[in-house]
Structure 1
Amino acid sequence: MTPAEAAELLAHCAAFDRRTIGEADARAWSRALHDVPLDDDTRGAVAEHYAHTDQWITVAQIRHLRARIRTGRIDAAHPVYDGQPGETGEQFIARRRAQITAAAEGALPERTITQAIGAGSEAKLLALAGAVGRSVDGEEPAPYVDEKTRTAMRSHLPGNRAALVELDVDCPNCRAAQRRLCRSSRGRELRGTVHGQRRDAYAVRHAQCPECGAPPSHACTTPEPHPARVRAATADRPMPNRRQLDRLMRTPPTPRENRARHTTGGQHR
């Protein structure tokens, strides 16, 4: 900004605050605003200031308000530059700066971020989201674990781990539903066993008692199932076979639910 332009800007300010200006004022403002042009944004900063206060405007306030006006245009235009093939880093910086300057001067129209990145309409995006997780052209989805890795994992799996057949019934102790692992009093899952009451409930449902002759789904003559009935129910416990292992390895693990913990003091139950 030249001294003549600074004098014109001070005259614009005097229209609001009735200040008196001289040559020294014009030279001082010209030096302080040496990198700021006298344009509509500079005049708009003055008008913005006096629209909200009757205090005399300063050079620092002109810089701040002018930058805010131009930043608002940039935010509204959402300038996106994807670059060009073969351009150098210097060319990218120069073109990106030119794009931002154009947005600040109002040369780019206002648009949403969806329009800026060239995405489709919201209806098209929702239609695509409905196809997530479905097979393409009727093809079977790729296995979660490839065959080579599956073979290596199978060779290291223990062969004497019995299935928890007791998960077929609800647990009377911890109230775990069918196919859900039992939980301890601290809320931890019991991976390799179940509660005794659940084992008894499974025995009553599926096994006949060798001692009292109670058929399946009928209670023994004692308050608790006879030990022989419990042993009979788990004697033919199935072992995980190859097909079951393959199915488990093809299925991604289910995310575990986060359990809220009290952090406000007191005993944890």
Structure 2
Amino acid sequence: MNRSEAALLLGHCAAFDNRTVGEADATAWASALHDVPYDNDARTAVARFYGTPPKDPHQRLWIQPHNVRTLRSKLRSARLENFQYEPLPDESVGEFMARYRGQVQAIASGRAPAPVGRLALEADPKRDREFVKELTARGWEGNRTVADSDEEAEADSIRRAGPLGVECPACHAAIGRPCKSPGASEKRPLGKPRPKPHSARLRAAQGVPEQTAEQRAVEEQAIRARAAQHFARDDGRIHDAVIVEDQP
């Protein structure tokens, strides 16, 4: 925008705010808007500025060069909201850049009509069912629902994947809280936090049912039997270590 064009734009502003326009004003505005052309978007930016009421009803509107630049950019960006470049087959990088810039400039300036809607994906019921099935196999449990109470919302906020996502069957640590060591003191009335969760909590998080007392007894008996077999195979003797001397 040169000085003559800036004077025309200031005349457009004066129609709204009754300002006095001189040569110094035109020179200053031309310097501030040297990279902004005097076009219909610049004039529309002025009209939009004065068509929007101020936050303070007693405030007098007085447009500045930066207002013209900002509002003009918003006008042009709005036309590009749904723009999607459609490449040509086998086009080179140079051809892509030239066509892309040309389409952006044409739509942003209003020479070409702006896209009216976004491209939508075509529905395929079979593909959708396979996609949902794959998500379910990876642990997806469907859309989340809103909690009915503050207590449920708080419990849901600390729910997480892994062992801390379930209550510990061994020490009864709440969801989201680490497991506790046995015993308590005045300093640690709830017990010292364990660096690793209990095995029972790991099994519960993996969905493995907890063993009954009879099952644990059978498993312990099997472990003792394997240990006895290993001990009997060596005749109960502890072999001396063989010392190997270094060769000179």
Q: TM-score, normalised by structure 2?
A: 0.50
**Counterpart of 1:71?**
77
For the structure 1 residues 186 and 99, does the alpha-carbon distance in structure 2 shift closer, same or farther, using more than 3 Å as the test? farther
Alignment check: 8 A CA contact 1:79 1:99 kept: no
For the structure 1 residues 85 and 27, does the alpha-carbon distance in structure 2 shift closer, same or farther, using more than 3 Å as the test? same
Measured against aligned partners, the alpha-carbon deviations of 1:225-268 in whole angstroms (never above 9, x if no partner) come to 9x8xx99xxxxxxxxxxxxxxxxxxxxxxxxxxxxxxxxxxxxx
**Counterpart of 2:61?**
55
Q: What is the Cα deviation at residue 94 of structure 1?
A: 2.0
Q: What is the Cα deviation at residue 133 of structure 1?
A: 8.4
**Counterpart of 1:18?**
18
Q: Any idea what SS the aligned residue of 1:188 has?
A: helix
**Counterpart of 2:41?**
41
**Counterpart of 1:189?**
203
d(CA) in 2 for partners of 1:82 and 1:102? 16
Q: What is the Cα deviation at residue 57 of structure 1?
A: 0.7
- Between stretches 106-115 and 41-50, larger displacement belongs to 106-115
d(CA) in 1 for partners of 2:210 and 2:87? 58
Letter in 1 for 2:51: A
d(CA) in 2 for partners of 1:195 and 1:111? 63
d(CA) in 1 for partners of 2:212 and 2:71? 75
For the structure 1 residues 193 and 33, does the alpha-carbon distance in structure 2 shift closer, same or farther, using more than 3 Å as the test? closer
For the structure 1 residues 79 and 196, does the alpha-carbon distance in structure 2 shift closer, same or farther, using more than 3 Å as the test? closer
- Kindly report which structure 2 residues correspond to 1:1-269, keeping only aligned pairs within 5 A, or say none: 1-52=1-52, 53=54, 54-75=60-81, 77-87=82-92, 89-106=93-110, 107-115=112-120, 119-120=121-122, 124-126=123-125, 128-132=127-131, 187-189=201-203, 195-197=211-213, 199=215
Q: What is the Cα deviation at residue 61 of structure 1?
A: 1.1
For the structure 1 residues 71 and 193, does the alpha-carbon distance in structure 2 shift closer, same or farther, using more than 3 Å as the test? closer
Alignment check: 8 A CA contact 1:74 1:104 kept: yes
Q: What is the Cα deviation at residue 26 of structure 1?
A: 1.6
Alignment check: 8 A CA contact 2:83 2:114 kept: no
* Number of aligned residue pairs: 150
**Greater length-normalized contact order (CA 8 Å, ≥ 6 residues apart):** 1
Q: TM-score, normalised by structure 1?
A: 0.47
The runs of 5 or more residues in structure 1 that have no matched partner are: 135-172, 175-182, 201-224, 232-269
Letter in 2 for 1:9: L
d(CA) in 1 for partners of 2:2 and 2:71? 20
Q: What is the Cα deviation at residue 20 of structure 1?
A: 0.4
Q: What is the Cα deviation at residue 47 of structure 1?
A: 1.1
Measured against aligned partners, the alpha-carbon deviations of 1:159-189 in whole angstroms (never above 9, x if no partner) come to xxxxxxxxxxxxxx99xxxxxxxx9565112
Measured against aligned partners, the alpha-carbon deviations of 1:101-128 in whole angstroms (never above 9, x if no partner) come to 122123233333325xxx42xxx24453
d(CA) in 2 for partners of 1:126 and 1:11? 60
Letter in 2 for 1:195: Q
Measured against aligned partners, the alpha-carbon deviations of 1:22-75 in whole angstroms (never above 9, x if no partner) come to 122222222322221111210111111112233211111110111011111111
Alignment check: 8 A CA contact 1:46 1:57 kept: yes
Letter in 2 for 1:43: R
Alignment check: 8 A CA contact 1:9 1:43 kept: yes
For the structure 1 residues 86 and 97, does the alpha-carbon distance in structure 2 shift closer, same or farther, using more than 3 Å as the test? closer
Alignment check: 8 A CA contact 2:11 2:21 kept: yes
For the structure 1 residues 85 and 19, does the alpha-carbon distance in structure 2 shift closer, same or farther, using more than 3 Å as the test? same
Alignment check: 8 A CA contact 2:13 2:46 kept: yes
Q: Give % identity.
A: 34
